Amino acid sequence: MAKKEYLDKYPRNPARSLWVMKPVSKALKIFFKTIAHRPVTILYPYEKMWMPENYRGRPGLRFDRCVACGMCVKMCPTACIKLVDTEDGSGQKVKRPQVNVGRCAMCGYCAEYCPVDAMTVTPEFELAEYTREDLIYGPKRLAYEGITERMEIHLEQTLMSDIKNGNPERRISPFKTDRPVLVEAKCISCKRCEKVCPVKAVTMVEHGVNEKGRPILYPEFNNDTCICCENCVEDCPKDALYINEVL
Amino acid sequence: MMSRDVIDIKAETSELHTDKMWVIMGPQHPFSHGLWTLKARLDGEIVVDAEPIIGYLHRGWEKECENRTYPKIIPMADRLCYAASMTYTHLYCMTVEKALGIDIPEKAKYIRIMADEICRIQSHLMWLAAVGTDLGNLTVFLWAMREREFFMDLNVRMCGARMTTNFPRIGGVRNDIDDEFAMFASRCVERFEKAIWDIIAMIDDSSVFVSRMKGTGILSREQCANLGITGPAMRGTGVDFDVRRDDPYDNYDKMDFEVPVLKEGDSYARYMVRIEELFQSCKIIKQCLQKVKAIGRNAPYRLKVPSKVPAGRAFVRMEDPRGESMMYLISDGTDKPYRLKVRSPIFVNVSAAKPLVLGSRIADVPAVMAMIDMCLGETDR
């Protein structure tokens, strides 16, 4: 059994603790012990506290890696992320996340659930501004220089089937295993999944002709480029798609 | 002219209500740590009746959970109680895991209970700081906050956040701990076990503290059972029960620790139980570090779980720093909970306010109520 550290020494005679010279002598002892201490506080605006690399401050974005899949928008618990129109380096119109830092809870979900590791956490914590509009960080302002490896969070999970099969050391991201599956009877060939796919992993393939003479198109998914963002599943008007979760 | 005796008798038997009065303390009052009110009825200096009023911090937490998917509730569970964020996220994750019927990896269990104990230490230290200010000693407040800062730094090293940690996940924990963290943690715990004796010396040998805590706010075992009081407040009255030992969750049954129990039932006993729990938590952290090291670096720490929870009910209880917290989940088979009920220990413990302060002087009320360790975030939800 573990021994009690404090209760074995206490309680003692309460009359002793009420004797007035005892605390004075104890306090003097502590005074001499602490007088040689270096200060624990720092002069804040001039000196900054050291923060480890993995400190979760405001979210950061790597503009080039982002594919505008909207996973961060879906996962944000405070709904502070929004996809906005912007221009990339070559002048093309693209969508990128915009973060309202005034609402951000610094939970790090946007970085954790980013399928392409574009969102990161940054150690920046001095975010005070004078107006609320200044708190909205656009895609360009979200960039953070000096992103190191520990600021990225990779979603590494172990599959339950792997543990059963005696391969418990394999860790895999769910964005590499889960894929959308089509229920062909429900599909109406509307091509919406092809339009919303951010990585162009959906191609509509012809499967014969229906009774009215129109071609029947079914989506086919490229398993290598798919990032499992579930945009096609959510936008399907007939619920013909679902995500097959590999467990 | 009436004699002196006649006047006294007249005052005693008069129908005028000038003898007893209600004193309303709170919701903004130095004694109430958080937003709550204690109405105390005074007969001179003596409290003859008391009534706690809560509800100033109600945010509709449980209702809001019904609109969120399961992983999105974890950051919200952090905000139930900022001093015990790890235990509440842990409790929520355990509830969903029970509903899913999965068993999480060994390593995740050890990391989780280590995070819990770090959380318990920093929560108790914050309570100690509050007791220091309530009893008028700012040195204890500053020193307890200084010690707490080391455990906050451990939290940052472990998961990147100081208070609202968002660390446990359904199926494991957010990230693995590295050797660097293990080194810092063992160093921090060893330093703390020596440094806490300074604060103990400040309190236990000070007549200011001891005379105000000894013999005040006495609670009996029967009252504990009737009011449903749990946690250190219960163990200070001689009830030998701790969920960690008697109904072990995760890997607490493999840990070697002692549950402090004292029979006195006064404020001082509750103080001593909490101080002893600090030492026992240090022991658990050290054992966990060894176990995690023995398991090895490549062991799994996070399982992949289905996003939809099968229809059913799950109920889990755990030992929070403040008492026994429970969560009850009803799922209807979708990716959002149908209902999530939280049983917060302080919501029940605050009902002991009347028996605790009854008969004590009004000046003792802050000292007595500080021993409950109020946290309004989880009480009002």
Q: What is the pLDDT of residues B233-289, one digit of tens each?
A: 888 888 888 888 888 888 888 888 888 888 888 888 888 899 989 999 998 999 989
**Given pLDDT bands bounded at 50, 70 and 90, which one contains residue B328?**
very high
**Given pLDDT bands bounded at 50, 70 and 90, which one contains residue B213?**
confident
Nearest to B204 by CA among B212, B216, B215, B194: B212
Q: Classify residue B13: in a domain, yes or no.
A: no
Alpha carbon of B371: minimum distance to chain A alpha carbons (Å) = 18
Report the residue from A121, A159, A169 with minimal CB separation from B160. Answer: A121
Radius of gyration for the alpha carbons in chain A, expressed in angstroms and rounded: 28
Interface test with A, best of B124, B304, B307, B334 (most A CBs within 10 A): B304
Domain ranges of chain A: 59-151, 162-244
Report the residue from B171, B298, B305 with minimal CB separation from A169. Answer: B298
pTM of the model: 0.88
Helix (H, G, I), strand (E, B) or coil at B78: helix
Name B156's Cβ contacts closer than 8 Å, sequence gap at least 6.
A51, A52, A54, A55, B162
Q: How far apart are CA B303 and CA B349, in angstroms?
A: 36
Q: How far apart are CA A127 and CA A135, in angstroms?
A: 8
Which residues does residue B23 pair with via DSSP β-bridges, in sequence order? B40
Any chain A CB within 8 A of the CB of B149? yes
**Of the given ranges (A69-73, A86-90, A209-213, B94-98), which has the lowest mean pLDDT?**
A209-213
| pLDDT at position B358 | 85
| pLDDT at position B5 | 60
Range of the domain at B195: 60-380
A75/B71 touch (CB, cutoff 8 Å), yes or no: yes
Could you report the predicted ipTM of this complex, rounded to two decimals? 0.84
Percent of chain A predicted with pLDDT > 70: 92
**What's the mean per-residue pLDDT of chain B?**
86
Which residue in chain B has the smallest CA separation from A22?
Answer: B205
Question: What's the whole-number mean pLDDT along residues A211-215?
Answer: 78
Which residue in chain B has the smallest CA separation from A39?
Answer: B146
A77/B76 touch (CB, cutoff 8 Å), yes or no: yes
Nearest to A117 by CA among A180, A169, A61, A160: A61
Any chain A CB within 8 A of the CB of B257? yes
Helix (H, G, I), strand (E, B) or coil at B316: strand
**Given pLDDT bands bounded at 50, 70 and 90, which one contains residue B9?**
low
Residue A30, judged by CB atoms within 10 A of its CB (0-12, 13-18, 19+), counts as middle
Interface of B with A in 275-294 (CB under 8 A): 275-276, 278-280, 283
Looking up tokens 């004694």, which residue turns up? Answer: B31
Any chain A CB within 8 A of the CB of B168? no
Q: Classify residue B16: in a domain, yes or no.
A: no
Interface of B with A in 173-232 (CB under 8 A): 174-175, 193, 198, 200-202, 204-207, 210-211, 214
Helix axes B138-159, B179-204, angle to 10 degrees: 170
Report the residue from B174, B283, B302 with minimal CB separation from A2. Answer: B283
Alpha carbon of A20: minimum distance to chain B alpha carbons (Å) = 7
| pLDDT at position B1 | 45
Interface test with B, best of A1, A4, A5 (most B CBs within 10 A): A5
Interface of B with A in 34-73 (CB under 8 A): 68, 71-72
Q: How far is CA B97 from CA A101, B79, B342, in A?
A: 32, 20, 16
Report the residue from A5, A23, A153 with minimal CB separation from B279. Answer: A5
Question: What's the whole-number mean pLDDT along residues A161-177?
Answer: 81
Report the residue from B68, B275, B278 with minimal CB separation from A77. Answer: B68
Looking up tokens 């007939």, which residue turns up? Answer: A238
Say if residues B203 and B270 touch (Cβ distance below 8 Å): no
Chain B residues touching residue A54 (CB < 8 angstroms):
156-157, 159-160
Q: How far apart are CA A34 and CA A31, in angstroms?
A: 5
Nearest to B87 by CA among B316, B292, B290: B316
CATH code of the region A162-244? 3.30.70.20
| pLDDT at position B2 | 47
Which residues does residue A241 pair with via DSSP β-bridges, in sequence order? A182
Q: How far is CA B108 from CA A55, A188, B18, B239, B288, in A?
A: 21, 45, 62, 31, 11
B149/A245 touch (CB, cutoff 8 Å), yes or no: no
DSSP annotation of B193 reads H
Question: What's the whole-number mean pLDDT along residues B94-117?
Answer: 90
Nearest to B112 by CA among B316, B309, B347, B265: B316
Q: Classify residue B21: in a domain, yes or no.
A: no
Chain A residues touching residue B198 (CB < 8 angstroms):
30, 33-34
Alpha carbon of B173: minimum distance to chain A alpha carbons (Å) = 10
Chain A residues touching residue B211 (CB < 8 angstroms):
18
Domain count, chain B: 1
Which residue in chain A has the smallest CA separation from B203?
Answer: A23
Cis check: omega of the bond before B232, within 30 degrees of 0:
no
B276/A6 touch (CB, cutoff 8 Å), yes or no: yes
**Given pLDDT bands bounded at 50, 70 and 90, which one contains residue B121?**
very high
Token representation of residue B188:
């921090």
- Evaluate the CA torsion angle B137, B140, B143, B145 in order and state its sign: negative
Cis check: omega of the bond before A139, within 30 degrees of 0:
no
Question: What's the whole-number mean pLDDT along residues A110-138?
Answer: 87
Q: How far apart are CA B285 and CA A129, in angstroms?
A: 40
Length reported for chain A:
247
* Residue A145 C-alpha from the chain's centroid: 19
More confident residue, B76 or A53: B76
Say if residues A232 and A222 touch (Cβ distance below 8 Å): no
How many Cβ pairs closer than 8 A exist between chain A and B?
A: 135
Chain A residues touching residue B288 (CB < 8 angstroms):
none
Contacts 24+ apart (CB under 8 A), B340-343: B340/B62, B340/B65, B340/B66, B340/B73, B340/B92, B340/B95, B341/B62, B342/B61, B342/B62, B342/B80, B342/B378, B342/B381, B343/B317
Name A184's Cβ contacts closer than 8 Å, sequence gap at least 6.
A218, A240
| pLDDT at position A124 | 84
Say if residues B131 and B180 touch (Cβ distance below 8 Å): no
A110 membership: H or E segment, kind and range: helix A109-112
Domain CATH code at residue B157: 1.10.645.10
Chain B residues touching residue A159 (CB < 8 angstroms):
303-304
Chain B residues touching residue A163 (CB < 8 angstroms):
105, 300, 303
Residue B60, judged by CB atoms within 10 A of its CB (0-12, 13-18, 19+), counts as exposed
Report the residue from A6, A18, A112 with minimal CB separation from B279. Answer: A6
More confident residue, A150 or B53: B53
pLDDT digits (tens, 9 = 90+) for B277-323: 999 999 899 998 998 888 888 888 888 888 888 898 999 999 888 88
Say if residues B57 and B380 touch (Cβ distance below 8 Å): yes
Q: Classify residue B34: in a domain, yes or no.
A: no
B76/A40 touch (CB, cutoff 8 Å), yes or no: no
In the CATH hierarchy, which fold is given to the domain comprising A59-151? Alpha-Beta Plaits (3.30.70)
Looking up tokens 């199926």, which residue turns up? Answer: B171
